[in-house]
Structure 1
Amino acid sequence: MTSIVFMGTPDFSAPILRMLYEEGYAIKAVITQPDRPVGRKRVLTPPPVKAAALELGLPVIQPEKLRGSAELQQIIDLQPDLIVTAAFGQILPKELLVTPPLGCINVHASLLPKYRGGAPIHQAIIDGEKETGVTIMYMAEKLDAGDIISQSAIPIEAEDHTGALFDKLSNVGRDLLKNTLPSIINKTNSRTVQDETQVSFASNISREQERIDWTEDATTLYNQVRGLHPWPVAYTTFEEGNFKIWWAKVGQSKHDAQPGTVVAIAKDHFEVAAGNGSTLALYDIQPAGKKRMTAEEYLRGTGSKLQIGDQFQ
C-alpha cells in the first residue's frame, strides 16, 4: 500500500485527510500548524486537521517553521512514497520536495494558473468570478507553480460566501484527489505545464482589503462583503469606531448622496450610499465594542438613533 505523509491545517483539509484514511492509504504522519490561541479568551486550540488526525489515531507533527527544523528531518526519515498537501500554510523546502519517489502534490482551491497563493477562495469571490474549482498539482519551489495533474470546476453562486465555498471546494478536492491518486501511483497521470501568461495571485487578505470603500459600486462592495464572510469580515468606520459588516446585499434605493451616507432605513436593514448611485443594504453588523447582531436588533436597540444622513467612512 502506498505510504503518504499528509500536510494540512484548516477545515478545508480535514475531509481530504479522512478520505485518505478511509481509502486505506498508509498515512505515516499528519503535519499541521501548531495550536494557536483563539477567541477573546485566547484559548489554545488545535487546528482542525490535528483534531481529525487524533480522532483517526494518526501521529501528528506540528513544526512552527518547517525549513531548517528538527521536524523536517523527522518527516524525511519517514520515507513516504507520496506527500499530499492541502492548505498546509507553509512552503515546502527543496530537500522535502525531492524526498518521496511519487513526488509532492497539492490540493489547491483554484483553477490554476489563476489565483496562486494563500487566499484563492476569498479573492475569487471578491473579484466577482462566476466559476472556481480545485487543482491537483505537483509542487515546485515556486509558489503554486507546479505542473497541473487534474482539475474540477464549479460555479460560484450569487449568494456564495467564503465559508460556503470553502465547504464546497473541500468536498470537490476530496473527490478529485480520490479519483486522481490511482493514476499518480501508477504513473499514468497527465501533467500540464502552467501557462505563465495567465497567472494571477491571491495573497493572504490584508487589513486594507477588509475596509469598505464607499465610492465603489454596490455590486463590488457586496462581493467584498461575501468574500470576507465569515472571516476576516469587512468593516467600515462609524462614530470613530470600526463597524463590521457581516452580511449585506445590493440595495434597491437610488440616490445622489455622498458615498457612505445612510439614505434609507427599513425594519430589518438600512441602506448606505455607494458609487454610481447604488446602495449597499446592511443586514448583519457589529458596531464597535458590541457583539454581532442583525440590523433589525441594531435599529431597535443601541442603533435606534441612526438617521438618514448619518455618514459611514
Structure 2
Amino acid sequence: MHRLLFMGTPDFSVPILRMLHEEGYTIVGVVTQPDRPVGRKRVLTPPPVKAEALRLGLPVIQPEKLRGSSELEEIKALAPDLIVTAAFGQILPKALLEVPKLGCINVHASLLPAYRGGAPIHQAVMDGCTETGVTIMYMAEKLDAGDIISQANETILPTDDTGMMFEKLSRTGENLLKETLPSILEGTNERIPQDEELVTFAKNISREQERIDWTRPGMDIHNQVRGLSPWPTAYTTFGDENVKIWKTEAMQTDSEGKPGEIIELTKEHILVKSGDDTAVAITELQPSGKKRMTASVFLNGTGSQWEKGDLFL
C-alpha cells in the first residue's frame, strides 16, 4: 500500500483530503499552516484542513516554515511514497521534493501554464475570464512550473465571485484527483511539459489591488469587486473613511460626471461613474465600523446623507 502525505490549508483543500481518506488511501500525515488569530477578537483558530484531519483521526504537522525546520525532518521521517498538495501556502524545499519515490503532485486552481502563483482564482475572475480550471501537476523547484498530468475545465459565470469559484474548483479538483491518482500510483500517467511562452502569473493579492480606481472602465471595476469577494474585498474612500464594496452590477449610462461620482441613488443601488460609459451600481457595501448590508438598507439608514454628485476617491 502506497504511503501518502497530504499538504493543504484552506477550505479549498478539505474535500480533496476527505476524498483521499474515503477512497481508502494510506495517509501517513497531514501538513498544514499554523493556527492563526481570526476576527476582531483575534481568536486563535486552526486552519480548515487541520480541523478535518483531526476529525478523521490523522496526525497533523504545522510548520511555520518548512526550510531547515525540525518539522521538515519529522515529515521526511514519515517516508511518504507520494506527497499531494492543494493550496498549502508554502513553497516546498528541494530537500522535501526529493523524498517521495513517486514525486510530489499539486492540485492547482488554473489551467497551467496560465496563472502560476498564489491567487489564480482571484486573478481569473478579476480579469473577466469566462473559463478556468484545475491542473494536477508534478511539483518542481520553480513555482508551478512542473509537468502537467491532467486538467479539467470549469466555467466562470458572470454572476460568480471568487468565493463561488473556490467551491466549484475545489469539487473539480477533488474529482480530477480521484480520476488521476490511480495512474500516478501505477506509473502510467502522462507528463506534459508546460509551454513557457504561454506562462502568466497570479501573485498574492496586494493592498493596492483592493482599492478601486474609478478612472478604470466600469466592467473592469465590477470584475475587480467580484474577484475580491468575499475576501479580501475591494474598497473605496468616502470622505475620510474606507467603504468595502461587496457586490456590484455593471450598467450602461449616458450620464455625465467625474469618475467616482454618484450619478444616481435608487432603492436598489448607488450608481457611480467610472472611466467609460459603463457605470458601477453598488448593491452591497460595508461602511467603516459597520456590518455588510444592501444598498437599500444603507440608504434608508446611516447612508441617507449621501447625495447625487458626492465623490468616491
TM-score (norm 1): 0.99
Q: Matched residue of 1:226: which SS?
A: helix
Give, in whole Å, the separation in 2 of the partners of 1:69 and 1:29: 17
The match for 1:209 is: 209
The match for 1:140 is: 140
Give, in whole Å, the separation in 2 of the partners of 1:180 and 1:277: 47
Q: Matched residue of 2:171: which SS?
A: helix
The match for 1:225 is: 225
1:120-159 to 2 correspondences below 5 Å: 120-159=120-159
**Greater mean alpha carbon deviation, residues 13-22 or residues 266-275:** 266-275
Q: Matched residue of 1:250: which SS?
A: strand
**Greater mean alpha carbon deviation, residues 293-302 or residues 114-123:** 293-302
1:248-263 to 2 correspondences below 5 Å: 248-263=248-263
Give, in whole Å, the separation in 2 of the partners of 1:151 and 1:23: 21
> Partner amino acid for 1:197?
E
> Partner amino acid for 1:119?
A
The Cα of 1:23 is off from its aligned counterpart by 0.5
The Cα of 1:80 is off from its aligned counterpart by 0.7
Give, in whole Å, the separation in 2 of the partners of 1:54 and 1:129: 37
Asked if 1:38 is matched to 2:51, the reply is no
Q: Matched residue of 2:303: which SS?
A: coil
The match for 1:79 is: 79
1:144-293 to 2 correspondences below 5 Å: 144-293=144-293
Q: Matched residue of 2:305: which SS?
A: coil
- Structure 1 segments, 4+ long, off by >6 Å, are none
The Cα of 1:252 is off from its aligned counterpart by 4.2
Give, in whole Å, the separation in 1 of the partners of 2:155 and 2:168: 10
Q: What is the RMSD computed on CA atoms of the aligned residues?
A: 0.7
Give, in whole Å, the separation in 1 of the partners of 2:19 and 2:208: 37
Q: Matched residue of 1:80: which SS?
A: coil
The answer (yes or no) to whether the contact 2:5–2:28 under 8 Å persists in 1 is yes
The answer (yes or no) to whether the contact 2:252–2:277 under 8 Å persists in 1 is no
The Cα of 1:119 is off from its aligned counterpart by 0.2
Structure 1 gap segments, 5+ residues each: none
Structure 2 gap segments, 5+ residues each: none
Q: Matched residue of 1:112: which SS?
A: coil
Give, in whole Å, the separation in 2 of the partners of 1:46 and 1:218: 39
Give, in whole Å, the separation in 2 of the partners of 1:258 and 1:48: 44
> Partner amino acid for 2:233?
V
The answer (yes or no) to whether the contact 1:254–1:279 under 8 Å persists in 2 is no
Equivalent residues, number:
313
> Partner amino acid for 1:228?
L
Query: Per-residue displacement from partner, 1:184-205 (whole Å, max 9, x unpaired)?
Result: 0110000000000000000000
Give, in whole Å, the separation in 2 of the partners of 1:254 and 1:99: 62
The match for 1:7 is: 7
Determine what percentage of the aligned residue pairs are the same residue.
65
Q: Matched residue of 1:251: which SS?
A: strand
The Cα of 1:215 is off from its aligned counterpart by 0.8
The match for 1:55 is: 55
The match for 1:18 is: 18
TM-score (norm 2): 0.99
Give, in whole Å, the separation in 2 of the partners of 1:63 and 1:257: 53
The Cα of 1:254 is off from its aligned counterpart by 2.4
